[in-house]
Structure 1
């Protein structure tokens, strides 16, 4: 079914320009395939109007219509785990949060992932790079290192997380860890191949790709980077590594950059997640090698990780996307809050308001994220041929006053309170914060059962 959006404050974020593509009174036609067929300013042409019925027209008078947000770094299984590790930096927080998931069943992970995916959609995030919880259970870090002998769970533990993302109706890239210390090389590659194969059975319009959750930062295996690079080449997948995130054991973390560099990972689509405890030399080498990075402002603040040198990275030519990370370390999946935190952090760090402007921040949290994920041909902006994934945002509910500069007000003054509707492929998936997914109520009930089920096994995590 086609859909015609009219009278919108249209923000398109087009590729190839820094202009946000703002149209004060715009229209957009969504085809039967869920992709954008045409768009423009003023009244739509007569042939466009004639192509849809009255029931298929959305009058967005006075409201923003903008691309759905892209989170280029997310852990959607954590939606039932908010409020843990509040007094800790990364490793202590992981002990609290992932020390809890090690007791969760595949079905509990399914419902928590589904709940997290619907939570993202309800807040305007229509595409996510999603790290699944690895098969090998979390083990505590000591001096930035781990032993690597934690128990290994079955493949169903990954499959059900991927299923939860699929069933939510969010677009996603599915990332899984290789857990290279668990078993022989043949076993490691066979497990990863099975995880990729499972995801590739899904509708490719929603499962946009498979990827590796890069674990070199965590792994004691001396050839972890080589394993990941070999899997990238075998399966044609990308790789995003949590890297240089936490302010502990910084020299040890930095020493591992050479492992990825020497293995040839930088030019194969490697993304660095967080990339905070870095140096000008490491940034320069990463840019020269072709790597990109994903920036998580709210998470970095919540975990006291620090502030990534994003303006400097952009100036040096690095591609940057923005992620919401996860509900257990961002707490509220609010992309507007995430954008504002990013803007404020950079301006405060550099004491320069031009260090991060709203238009740039919006681009990083939409098209920029899609670019580093390699899916910008399908999502991230409102352009003909791309999926019609968009948000409808009402600046008068609540009323923020006159829009002196509409795009800047969209970034700086909007919030989920203003979010009226979310569409994926031209189909309504959230109406004023209420999911249209038939599994939403059950997902909510299931995650509320987690404390009673897990505290007897885990104890009450700090």
Structure 2
């Protein structure tokens, strides 16, 4: 028999590839942090001698979820200035709070809290956009998660950098210092067309060509953003980005709420991806992204939570359900964004956008063993006729029981490995007192 590190048996496995596949009573064999086989449980018992074995006889086993857009450190601003329009929220509340408090310590602590929340919800990889990327990377390393660390770019000064040149220099230096860490990946992260100049976008295009990094960028989030671009540049933001050479297979267009048919066709033709953030789009009254039309045109769609300050949860189960329901409601077609498509967006769609689809996003031999298991051992989840439907419309992050990243157990029987819940709660309380003392006192 073949000796391996780990064998996971599950009642159902949804491998994502091939599309639409549900495997009954199968197993995933893992060795050296990678999947070496997905096969019937009986055949696995005859072939493998595992050093560790996990039996999930009332569970669904999935690839680890991929959060395609997140500002992880903003967990420390969760619930600040809720029920406020986007630009008011940013200009009068969030940016001033960041000006007072954001530091390497803030980013490390906020990211650590975010990692704990995401791991408990089955998220094994997230695409981050925030300041002090090296501090975020330290928190990710502590957590054991996989992450794509954004190298931020703005034109105006913040606590992190003085100007566009300073942002890029610091971001690239952080990448050079961290690039040997196997669970860390990187993206160029210009904030948005309304905060980044043509000159800076031209530099982004050059760097993308040299380094082959994703470009993680807010695009067409609000109608106001489009109106401002028409006044300032005489064209819509996506057209400006097209002329500058930004639109291509490395682009991750975050939100992409206000797209006309020609713009959807452009994204499809150029091989760009969209990070769909349904909860944040609704909470900030930005609108409903035309996901049904994007999928019909072949645009690769992933799902993001956005930051906890504008969501207020880092919960991809909620996002999957809401994405599927909004697609149906907005299109008038109950078949729009079916359960398999929603699961694809939350796994392989996100991995593909990040250029990581050969490594994660599906349960296929040769890929990293990034997995999550969802327990159906709860009367509220019974009966189960179609496990893929249950994952999108019934189960929640509270039902995630086990998580592995590169074959390492991160969550076992709903309990995080290596995280001290009390310490995290104390960490959050300290920052709450600093940011909003009156809220702490009440």
Q: Which TM-score applies when normalising by structure 2?
A: 0.90
Q: Is the 8 A contact 1:175 1:212 kept in 2?
A: yes
Question: For the residues of structure 2 that align with 1:188 and 1:418, how far apart are their CA atoms?
Answer: 40
Q: Give the CA deviation at 1:433.
A: 3.9
Correspondence 1:18 to 2:19: yes
Question: For the residues of structure 1 that align with 2:19 and 2:196, how far apart are their CA atoms?
Answer: 42
Q: Give the CA deviation at 1:451.
A: 2.1
Partner of 2:67: 71
Partner of 1:418: 399
The change in CA–CA distance for 1:123 and 1:188 in structure 2 (over 3 A counts) is closer
Q: Give the CA deviation at 1:224.
A: 2.8
Correspondence 1:311 to 2:286: no
Correspondence 1:193 to 2:172: yes
Question: For the residues of structure 2 that align with 1:259 and 1:7, how far apart are their CA atoms?
Answer: 49
Question: For the residues of structure 1 that align with 2:427 and 2:307, how far apart are their CA atoms?
Answer: 18
Report 1:420-459 matches (<5 A): 420-438=401-419, 441-455=422-436
Per-residue CA distance 1:331-375 (angstroms, 9 max, x = gap): 222222111111111111112101121111111111111011110
Q: Give the CA deviation at 1:189.
A: 4.1
Partner of 2:232: none
Q: Give the CA deviation at 1:251.
A: 2.4
The change in CA–CA distance for 1:28 and 1:216 in structure 2 (over 3 A counts) is closer
Gaps of 5+ in 2: 230-234
Partner of 1:214: 190
**Which of residues 67, 91, 94 in structure 1 aligns to 2:90?**
94
Question: For the residues of structure 1 that align with 2:384 and 2:125, how far apart are their CA atoms?
Answer: 28
Farther-moved stretch of structure 1 (81-90 vs 432-441): 432-441
Q: Is the 8 A contact 2:154 2:196 kept in 1?
A: no
Gaps of 5+ in 1: 134-156
SS of the aligned residue for 1:305 comes to coil
Correspondence 1:395 to 2:376: yes
Correspondence 1:177 to 2:152: yes
Q: Give the CA deviation at 1:185.
A: 7.0
Correspondence 1:343 to 2:344: no
Question: For the residues of structure 2 that align with 1:293 and 1:407, how far apart are their CA atoms?
Answer: 23
SS of the aligned residue for 1:39 comes to strand
Partner of 1:121: 119
Q: Give the CA deviation at 1:132.
A: 1.8
Question: For the residues of structure 2 that align with 1:221 and 1:403, how far apart are their CA atoms?
Answer: 52
Question: For the residues of structure 1 that align with 2:123 and 2:167, how far apart are their CA atoms?
Answer: 33
Partner of 2:7: 4
Report 1:203-352 matches (<5 A): 203-204=181-182, 206-207=183-184, 209-219=185-195, 221-253=197-229, 255-267=236-248, 269-352=250-333
Partner of 2:139: 164
Q: Give the CA deviation at 1:406.
A: 2.1
The change in CA–CA distance for 1:407 and 1:186 in structure 2 (over 3 A counts) is closer
Q: Give the CA deviation at 1:442.
A: 3.0
Per-residue CA distance 1:171-208 (angstroms, 9 max, x = gap): 1111121234566776454233213213314x22x11x
Q: Give the CA deviation at 1:107.
A: 1.2
Question: For the residues of structure 2 that align with 1:398 and 1:302, how far apart are their CA atoms?
Answer: 31
Farther-moved stretch of structure 1 (353-362 vs 258-267): 258-267
Farther-moved stretch of structure 1 (214-223 vs 344-353): 214-223
Larger strand fraction of residues: 2
- RMSD, matched Cα: 2.3
Q: Is the 8 A contact 2:226 2:237 kept in 1?
A: no
Question: For the residues of structure 2 that align with 1:192 and 1:259, how far apart are their CA atoms?
Answer: 24
